[in-house]
A and B are shown apart, each in its own frame.
Chain A
Amino acid sequence: NAGVTQTPKFQVLKTGQSMTLQCAQDMNHEYMSWYRQDPGMGLRLIHYSVGAGITDQGEVPNGYNVSRSTTEDFPLRLLSAAPSQTSVYFCASSRNRDSYGYTFGSGTRLTVV
């Protein structure tokens, strides 16, 4: 039981490049979400999903896309990276409507130069 797995752990991108941050969970959680954490800003919700095929925007969705084709995976795509997207990204999951806390992945530190 690996919990929530995020890859990569670190990434450096050039402005304008695209990439996908991976998030996978093996707990059969229906609810998955992406946050970014910036100094002094706390954790802010980017996108979330309540189940396969269903996604919705959070507080700061601009510049990010998501999809949820399976229950296990919830990738976050940056289509054209910008320096403002330099941050630490966390993926989290929970059981739908019966959550007992949210389980977080170990994070991806992204730097856009």
Chain B
Amino acid sequence: EDKVVQSPLSLVVHEGDTVTLNCSYEVTNFRSLLWYKQEKKAPTFLFMLTSSGIEKKSGRLSSILDKKELFSILNITATQTGDSAVYLCAVEAYSGAGSYQLTFGKGTKLSVIP
């Protein structure tokens, strides 16, 4: 059974702090790892990672994947109150018959206080 574990489950920081969110996984037939941000409604896509050691960056957010140690981190620098959300990690794995499935972790709830 595929498994995705995120840590910490919740985190409270002050504006301006830097945070690191963790995601470890155990899946067969790994294809990619995805990060999402979920505020009140639907998850919104942040990054998709397929190769080890290549950092993906978007503004103050960055992420990297380690396929040997089976984990990924999501970094947020100079946090703002608008970064408050649940951050979801998902692993995409081949499930046979030409299809793929996403397995999600339980998420990390980030609260940024002024």
Contact = CB atoms under 8 A, between A and B. Distances in A.
A59 B90 CA distance: 14
A75 B42 CA distance: 18
Where chain B touches its partner, the secondary structure class is strand
Interface stretch (A13-21, A42-50, A64-72, A78-86): A42-50
> 4 closest Cβ contacts across the A-B interface?
A101-B45, A104-B42, A43-B104, A42-B106
Interface residues of A, number: 28
Given A42-B107, A104-B43, A58 B100 contact: no
Contacts of B43: 43, 90, 104
A28 interface: no
Contact of A107 (B42, B100, B104): B42
Contacts, number: 58
Nearest to B92: A99
Interface residues of B, number: 23
A44 B34 CA distance: 15
Interface of B: 32, 34, 41-45, 48, 88, 90, 92, 95, 97-107
B42 A102 contact: no
Given A50-B97, A56-B97, A101-B34, A45 B42 contact: no
